[in-house]
C-alpha cells in the first residue's frame, strides 16, 4: 500500500492514497536502458535528488530502485553503477515528504536480519514510506561473487518464502526467536529498532508459475509481464493473479506493470527516437549479457520473439512500451487501467526531461479522465 504524510512532525501520521491509476518511477539510482546514446541517464546524487523531489511534488506514489552488485558484459560497464538500495532509500526519504521509497532487495545476497534493521531505519526516517521490491535471484555471477551457489528455480522461491517469514517476524516481534528452516537456521534472532508502522509494502515481479505463487502469498504488489499486449489479454492475466491471491490466501493484491516511456509530439517522432537509442546507438554487448543471464530459454524462442525481448530490454529493462504522443500514452494507460492494472512503474532514457513532459501533458489527461487527482490535492 502507498502512504502519504499528513503531518509535519518527526513521526508523521500516514494515510493511503486513493488514485485509481497509481504511478511509480523506476531505477533513477542507475538507469534502465542499455544504450550508448548521449541522453542515457547518469545516476549522480544531484540527478537523483532533483528527480525524486520532482516526482514527490507531482504526487507520484512510488520511487523504486533497481539493484545490481556486479555489472553485465565486463568490469566497469555502466550496468554496475547503481547506488546500493537501502542507503539510497534513506537518503531519498530524508529529502522527500510524501512518496513511498522502495528498495530492490536480492534475497539470496541480503540476509533478512540485515534487511529488517535497514528497513526499520529507512521507515523511521521516512515516517512509514518504505517498501521493498523482492528479487529471488537469476544472475549466477553475482551470487558466485558472494560465495553463494545459485539454487534451482523453485528452490530460490522456497528460500524467499523463508526469507519473508523471518522478515515479517523480525518486523513485528519484539522478542528474540530461533528459526530452523531449510535455508536459514537462526538462534536468538531479533532486529531493533522497531518502526511503529505497518510492515513495508512488498513487491515482486516473478513471471513463472512458482513466482506468481510466491507473490500471491507474500506480497502486496505483483507485476504482470504481458504475454499478449492487447488489453483484453492483459485483463485475463490480471484477473488470474487476483484470483490466486484471493482464493488461496484470502487477500487482495495490487497488480502493476513495468513500462518504458518515450514521449514526443507525434508517434512517428517517438518511434524514431526509440529506434535511434535502441538500434542505432544501442549497447548490443550489454543486452547480450543480460539475455544470456536472465532469459535462459531464449534459444528455444522464435527469432521474432527474441528480437522483441531484446528491443524491450535495451529500451527500458524489458518494460511495456508507452511510446507516442501525450494523447497516445494517456489513451494506452487508460485502456490498461480499464483492463484492471492498478499501477505503472515507469522509466525514461532522460528521466528529468521525460518526467517534466509527462507531468505537463499526460498527467492532466489522466486527471481529466478521473484516473488521478491533481498532485497537490493529495496532500
Separation of alpha carbons 173 and 175, rounded Å: 5
C-alpha grid cell, residue 62: 512510488
Instruction: Say if residue 334 is exposed, middle or buried (CB neighbours under 10 Å; 0-12, 13-18, 19+).
Output: middle
> What pLDDT is stored for residue 346 in this prediction?
98
Is residue 13's pLDDT more than 60? no
> What pLDDT is stored for residue 228 in this prediction?
84
Specify the residue for cell string 490535492: 377
> What pLDDT is stored for residue 307 in this prediction?
83
> What pLDDT is stored for residue 374 in this prediction?
86
pTM of the full predicted structure?
0.92
Please indicate whether residue 307 or residue 326 has the higher confidence score (pLDDT). 326
Separation of alpha carbons 260 and 33, rounded Å: 9
Q: Count CB atoms within 10 A of the CB of residue 13.
A: 12
Separation of alpha carbons 113 and 187, rounded Å: 12
C-alpha grid cell, residue 21: 491509476
Q: Count CB atoms within 10 A of the CB of residue 175.
A: 8
Is residue 286's pLDDT more than 90? yes
Can you list the pairs that 164-170 forms with residues at least 24 positions away whose Cβ atoms lie under 8 Å? 164/112, 164/134, 164/202, 164/218, 166/112, 166/113, 166/116, 167/112, 167/115, 167/116, 167/119, 168/199, 170/112, 170/113, 170/116
Please indicate whether residue 291 or residue 199 has the higher confidence score (pLDDT). 199
pLDDT band at 324 (very low <50, low <70, confident <90, very high): very high
Q: pLDDT digit string (tens) for 216-239? A: 999 999 999 887 888 899 999 999
> What pLDDT is stored for residue 348 in this prediction?
98
> What pLDDT is stored for residue 148 in this prediction?
85
Is residue 255's pLDDT more than 50? yes
Domain 3-378 has CATH 1.10.3720.10: no
Strands 177-180 vs 185-189: parallel, antiparallel or unpaired: antiparallel
Its sign, for the CA torsion 159, 164, 167, 173, is negative
> What pLDDT is stored for residue 296 in this prediction?
55
Closest CA to 270 of 332, 323, 313, 346: 323
Least confident window among 7-16, 115-124, 265-274: 7-16
Percent above pLDDT 70 for the chain = 92
Is residue 83's pLDDT more than 50? yes
Residue ranges of domains in the chain: 3-378
Mean pLDDT value across the chain: 91
Q: Count CB atoms within 10 A of the CB of residue 142.
A: 22
Amino acid at each position: 500500500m502507498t502512504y502519504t504524510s499528513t503531518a509535519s512532525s518527526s513521526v508523521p501520521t500516514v494515510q493511503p492514497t486513493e488514485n485509481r491509476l497509481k504511478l511509480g518511477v523506476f531505477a533513477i539510482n542507475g538507469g534502465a536502458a542499455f544504450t550508448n546514446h548521449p541522453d542515457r541517464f547518469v545516476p549522480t546524487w544531484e540527478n537523483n535528488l532533483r528527480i525524486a523531489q520532482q516526482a514527490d511534488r507531482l504526487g507520484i506514489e512510488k520511487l523504486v530502485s533497481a539493484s545490481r552488485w556486479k555489472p553485465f558484459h565486463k568490469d566497469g560497464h555502466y550496468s554496475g553503477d547503481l547506488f546500493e538500495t537501502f542507503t539510497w532509500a534513506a537518503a531519498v526519504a530524508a529529502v522527500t515528504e510524501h512518496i513511498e521509497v522502495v528498495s530492490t532487495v536480492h534475497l539470496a545476497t541480503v540476509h533478512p536480519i540485515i534487511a529488517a534493521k535497514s528497513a526499520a531505519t529507512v521507515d523511521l526516517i521516512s515516517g512509514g514510506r518504505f517498501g521493498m521490491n523482492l528479487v529471488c535471484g537469476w544472475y549466477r555471477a553475482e551470487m558466485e561473487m558472494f560465495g553463494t551457489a545459485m539454487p534451482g528455480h523453485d528452490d530460490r522461491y522456497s528460500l524467499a518464502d523463508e526469507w519473508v517469514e523471518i522478515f515479517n517476524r523480525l518486523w513485528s516481534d519484539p522478542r528474540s526467536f530461533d528459526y530452523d528452516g531449510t535455508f536459514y537456521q537462526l538462534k536468538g534472532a531479533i532486529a531493533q529498532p522497531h518502526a511503529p508502522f505497518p510492515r513495508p509494502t512488498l513487491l515482486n515481479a516473478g513471471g513463472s508459475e512458482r513466482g506468481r505463487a510466491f507473490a500471491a502469498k507474500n506480497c502486496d504488489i505483483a507485476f504482470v509481464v504481458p504475454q499478449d499486449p492487447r488489453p483484453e489479454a492483459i485483463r485475463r492475466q490480471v484477473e488470474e493473479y487476483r484470483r490466486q491471491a484471493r482464493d488461496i490466501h484470502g487477500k487482495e493484491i495490487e497488480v502493476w506493470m513495468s513500462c518504458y516511456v518515450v514521449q514526443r509530439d507525434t508517434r512517428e517522432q517517438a518511434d524514431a527516437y526509440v529506434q535511434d537509442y535502441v538500434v542505432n546507438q544501442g549497447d548490443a554487448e550489454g543486452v547480450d549479457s543480460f539475455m544470456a543471464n536472465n532469459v535462459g530459454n531464449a534459444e528455444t524462442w522464435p527469432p521474432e520473439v527474441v528480437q522483441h525481448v531484446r528491443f524491450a530490454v535495451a529500451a527500458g529493462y524489458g518494460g511495456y512500451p508507452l511510446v507516442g504522443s501525450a494523447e497516445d500514452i494517456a489513451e494506452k494507460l487508460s485502456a490498461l487501467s480499464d483492463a484492471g492494472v492498478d499501477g505503472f512503474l515507469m522509466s525514461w532514457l532522460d528521466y528529468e526531461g521525460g518526467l517534466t513532459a509527462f507531468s505537463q501533458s499526460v498527467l492532466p489527461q489522466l486527471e481529466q479522465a478521473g484516473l488521478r487527482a491533481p498532485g497537490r490535492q493529495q496532500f
